[in-house]
Amino acid sequence: MKVKQQLKQLKPYQPGKPIEEVKREYRLETVIKLASNENPYGCSPLAQQAIMKELDYLALYPDGYSRSLREALAKHVGVNEKQLIFGNGSDEVVQIVCRAFLQKGTNTVMATPTFPQYRHNAIIEGAEVREIPLQDGHHHLEAMLEAIDDDTRVVWICSPNNPTGTYVNDASLRAFLDKVPKHVLVVVDEAYYEYVQAEDYPNTVSLLQQYENMMILRTFSKAYGLAALRIGYGIAHEHILQAIEPAREPFNTSRLAQVAALAALNDQTFIEQCAQKNKQGLSQFYTFCDEHSLHYYKSEGNFILIDFGFSGDEVFTYLLQRGIIVRSGCALGFPTAVRITVGSPEQNETIIRVLTNMLKERSEQFCEETF
């Protein structure tokens, strides 16, 4: 049997190590996972209650239109309900966009390093991928514009960007959109939107009124704490979503995901508290980095990318042996860095203490080798 030729150049997505596997491999009782940018505070109690009530209906297919969630989300976001499309995580909306717009003879433009599923899905569809290196951790928008031509179909902007945590501000995004040809769809991926604190972060939903060739992606996996249920969404003009709707699988979001997302949406106090705690957690890491003269990017997400100046795999292994799971930068395009999810204050204190010991040990080892 012969699979698509383009699949041969791809590797399956490699998630962070699961807690159970690390416990078993290193014979540990306690493991802290700070690798996948999950919410350390879980999800709203209202979401948990909604899931319990829905368990009697697991034999029934979900609402393929997601009407209850759709109506509530449209009101919350401030758009018409037909301006929403739901996916099995926002990852699936990425896949739907690629299915709908990309094929052999077309191209797509994106930053690098960034969220890898843009590239992954584009290659599967046979499109040319034009990757523009980040400029000091930020999207190089001018170079991305120069890469666009008549065959470009989709441009991806991940803001806040994964893995750097940097963002595209309002003025820069507007200037970029003004210059993008109307035949090109600009997808602004805002998976970490609820964590953003920057005052000049764009109100992308309001920009839809001016730019019909824009689409926004958001998710319930991060701040809403529903990663296990896989539900995300896209926001765009109705005519775009009508055109790509045939690429969406039927019943692609489960009953549990829909009711949990609806309940979580109605608990914005929980979201605001998580965002504030995340801000405080980032400050813990900024202080650590400043004290040890480590390079990092100010993050608008719930994670931080720290450059230690030596192999990220080495840092990853050191932490793993001590029961802490992070993400090595070697797999993210930053070989001397690691990406750390912001945890609870206690979890942050623990990893900072372990990292401090690691740096001390390396310093002592260096001194011994020198003398």
Q: Structure tokens of 204?
A: 């992308």
Could you tell me if residue 364 is inside a domain? yes
Residue type at 106? Answer: T
**Do 146 and 244 belong to one domain?**
yes
pLDDT at 228: 97
pLDDT tens by residue, the chain, 371 residues: 888 888 888 888 777 678 888 888 888 989 999 999 999 999 999 999 999 999 999 999 999 999 999 999 999 999 999 999 999 999 999 999 999 999 999 999 999 999 999 999 999 999 999 999 999 999 999 999 999 999 999 999 999 999 999 999 999 999 999 999 999 999 999 999 999 999 999 999 999 999 999 999 999 999 999 999 999 999 999 999 999 999 999 999 999 999 999 999 999 999 999 999 999 999 999 999 999 999 999 999 999 999 999 999 999 999 999 999 999 999 999 999 999 999 999 999 999 999 999 999 987 776 666 55
Those residues with Cβ within 8 angstroms of residue 40's Cβ, 6 or more apart along the chain or in another chain: 341, 342, 343, 344, 347
Coil, strand, or helix at residue 162?
Answer: coil
Predicted TM-score (pTM) above 0.85:
yes
* Residue 207 resides in a domain: yes
Q: Are residues 164 and 186 in the same domain?
A: yes
Same domain, 29 and 93: no
For residue 369, the model assigns a pLDDT of 64
| 8 Å CB contact between 253 and 87 | yes
- Residue range of the domain that includes 202: 45-266
Task: Collect all residues with Cβ–Cβ distance below 8 Å to 316 and sequence separation of at least 6.
Answer: 326, 327, 328, 330, 338
Give pLDDT, residue 3: 86
Q: Do both 197 and 80 map to the same domain?
A: yes
Tell which residue, 253, 235, 243, has the closest CA to residue 99.
243
Domain endpoint, select from 266, 283, 309:
266
Same domain as 178, residue 227: yes
> For residue 207, with 0-12 CB atoms within 10 Å meaning exposed, 13-18 middle and 19 or more buried, which class applies?
middle
Beta bridge partners of 58: none
Q: What is the CATH number of the domain that holds 357?
A: 3.90.1150.10
- For helices 268-291 and 345-370, the axis angle rounded to 10 degrees is 20
Q: Give the closest residue to 285 by CA, choosing from 335, 343, 337, 329.
A: 343
Considering the domain architecture, whether residues 328 and 357 belong to the same structural domain is answered as yes
Can you read off the two tokens belonging to residue 179?
A: 């210059």
Shared-domain flag, residues 301 and 220: no
Half-sphere exposure of residue 312, counting CA atoms within 13 Å on the CB side? 19
The predicted pLDDT at position 14 comes to 73
Instruction: Let me know if residue 340 belongs to a domain.
Output: yes
- Domain end marker among 266, 287, 306: 266
Query: How many CB atoms are closer than 10 A to CB 276?
Result: 12
Domain total for the chain?
2
